[in-house]
């Protein structure tokens, strides 16, 4: 089979063949020609709904239905169609099929990509930023977190998101570095900013993602991630380590405030809005890094003759020439 088509490039009335992760599966229902069921599939580029249009033999439909579950990799031969201005996939047996894939049939890179940057090089850059912090108590806090082998083994691998920017292995490290470097530039432009607080806040702002996201066959949220979210999880990790670091109360509160305010506005899930310049610097660096990266991701591997696509994630049209 030639290289399989990415979901984001599915078009109206085209054959689809390849391996995908099952995101969800709904129960069997009756329809005029027999029995059908719906499920969702994803690859590293997106997610799409699939309709299995079975015949009148319920047992046969049940056999296909019971053949795979959420989280499995499935092999699918189907047709993509545009319906209500949205792409979906139809499986019309017997020409089309859906079945659980065998372990040696597919390559995991279909579902999860890796950062383009070398993890070792990013690690070096991150630790040189840690070393550049002059206040030794803040530096101690950063070292106690990033030099903890359990934290670091997760931090260097975890994606920064399931779909949005840096949804790749090493994505959290790449994003954290991006934010810290943008924030460092802000310190160069505005000499009155407290550089140590800005750098520490930038490096720690998304640390809770190590508990929010996990890698299986795909990128998934953990239960804690779903219910608590990375803003609170980051707060928790930093608060735990602050107890050891003996940092003055106001500085500690400023670091925690940067974490709680880094999504900028309450409407974006930020429990606080930035209340001092260092917090504004980290918030803006986070927006810069994530937005620019998302635009680049949208254009990557795009297969269209058009000069524009619609991005669900950025909620706007993107110019792709």
CB of 319 to Fe ion, least distance (A): 25
Residue 211 as a binder of Fe ion (CB under 5 A): the answer is no
Closer to Fe ion by Cβ: residue 16 or 281: 281
CA distance 258 to 250: 12
- Between CA 100 and CA 22 the distance in angstroms is 10
Q: Which is nearer to Fe ion, 66 or 268 (CB)?
A: 268
DSSP letter for each residue of 9-74: G--TTEEEEEEEEEEEEPPPEEETTEEEEEEEEEETTEEEEEEEE--S-HHHHHHHHHT--TT-EE
For residue 190, give both structure tokens.
């505005």
Q: Which is nearer to Fe ion, 286 or 298 (CB)?
A: 286
Cβ-based nearer residue to Fe ion, 194 or 286: 286
CB-CB contact of 20 with 5 (8 Å)? no
Helix, coil or strand: residue 232: helix
Closest among 270, 230, 238, 278 to 254, alpha carbons compared: 278
Residue of 194, 196, 206, 211 that binds Fe ion (CB under 5 A): 206
Q: How far is the CB of 200 from Fe ion (least distance, A)?
A: 15
Strand partners, 279: none
Instruction: Enumerate helices (H) and strands (E) in the chain, giving the number of each.
Output: 11, 13
Q: Does 212 bind Fe ion (CB under 5 A)?
A: no
Q: Does 194 bind Fe ion (CB under 5 A)?
A: no
In this complex, which beta carbon is closest to Fe ion, that of residue 48 or of residue 204?
204
- Min CB(225)–Fe ion separation in Å: 12
Which H or E run includes 97?
Answer: strand 97-100
User: Binding-site residue total for Fe ion (CB under 5 A)?
Assistant: 2
- What is the sign of the dihedral through the CA atoms of 202, 206, 207 and 208? positive
Least CB distance to Fe ion at residue 57 (A):
50
Name the one range near Fe ion by CB under 5 A: 99-107, 121-129, 198-206, 244-252: 198-206
User: Is residue 196 a contact point for Fe ion (CB under 5 A)?
Assistant: no
Longest Cα–Cα distance in the chain: 74
Place of tokens 């509160």: 253
Least Å distance, CB 172 to Fe ion, is 9
Residue 246 C-beta: closest distance to Fe ion, Å: 27
Closest CA to 219 of 47, 19, 76: 47
Q: What are phi and psi of 49, to 5 degrees?
A: -90, 140
Options 7-15, 205-213, 273-281, 303-311: segment touching Fe ion (CB under 5 A): 205-213
Q: Which is nearer to Fe ion, 206 or 211 (CB)?
A: 206
Pick the closer one to Fe ion by CB: 211 or 286: 286
Q: Which is nearer to Fe ion, 18 or 201 (CB)?
A: 201
For Fe ion, give the closer residue by CB, 54 or 201: 201
How many whole angstroms separate alpha carbon 261 and alpha carbon 266?
9
- Write the binding mask 254 to 293 for Fe ion: x where contact by CB under 5 A, - elsewhere: --------------------------------x-------
Question: Closest distance between Fe ion and the C-beta of residue 208, in Å?
Answer: 8
Rounded least distance, CB 306 to Fe ion, Å: 31
Least distance (Å) between residue 161 CB and Fe ion? 9
Binding site for Fe ion (CB under 5 A): 206, 286
């Amino acid at each position: 089979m030639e290289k399989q088509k990415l979901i984001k490039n599915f078009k109206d009335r085209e054959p689809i063949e390849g391996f995908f992760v099952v995101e969800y599966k709904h129960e069997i229902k009756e329809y005029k020609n027999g029995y059908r069921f719906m499920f969702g599939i994803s690859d590293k580029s997106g997610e799409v709904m699939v309709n299995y249009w079975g015949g009148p033999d319920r047992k046969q439909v049940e056999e296909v239905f019971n053949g795979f579950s959420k989280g499995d990799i499935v092999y699918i031969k189907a047709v993509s169609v545009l319906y209500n201005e949205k792409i979906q996939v139809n499986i019309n047996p017997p020409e089309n099929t859906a079945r659980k894939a065998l372990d040696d049939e597919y390559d995991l890179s279909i579902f999860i990509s890796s950062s383009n940057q070398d993890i070792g090089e990013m690690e070096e850059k991150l630790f040189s930023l840690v070393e550049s912090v002059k206040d030794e108590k803040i530096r101690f806090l950063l070292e106690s977190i990033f030099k903890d082998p359990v934290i670091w083994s997760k931090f260097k691998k975890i994606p920064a998101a399931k779909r949005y920017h840096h949804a790749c292995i090493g994505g959290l490290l790449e994003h954290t570095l991006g934010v810290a470097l943008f924030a460092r530039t802000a310190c160069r432009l505005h000499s009155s900013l407290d550089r140590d607080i800005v750098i520490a806040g930038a490096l720690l702002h998304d640390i809770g993602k190590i508990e929010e996201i996990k890698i299986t066959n795909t990128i998934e949220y953990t239960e804690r991630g779903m219910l608590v979210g990375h803003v609170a999880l980051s707060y928790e990790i930093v608060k735990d380590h602050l107890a050891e670091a003996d940092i003055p109360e106001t500085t500690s509160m400023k670091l925690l405030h940067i974490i709680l305010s880094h999504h900028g506005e309450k409407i974006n899930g930020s429990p606080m809005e930035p209340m001092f310049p260092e917090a504004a610097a980290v918030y803006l660096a986070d927006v810069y890094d994530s937005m620019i990266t998302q635009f680049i991701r949208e254009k990557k591997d795009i297969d269209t003759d058009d000069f524009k696509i619609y991005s669900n994630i950025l909620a706007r049209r993107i110019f792709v020439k």
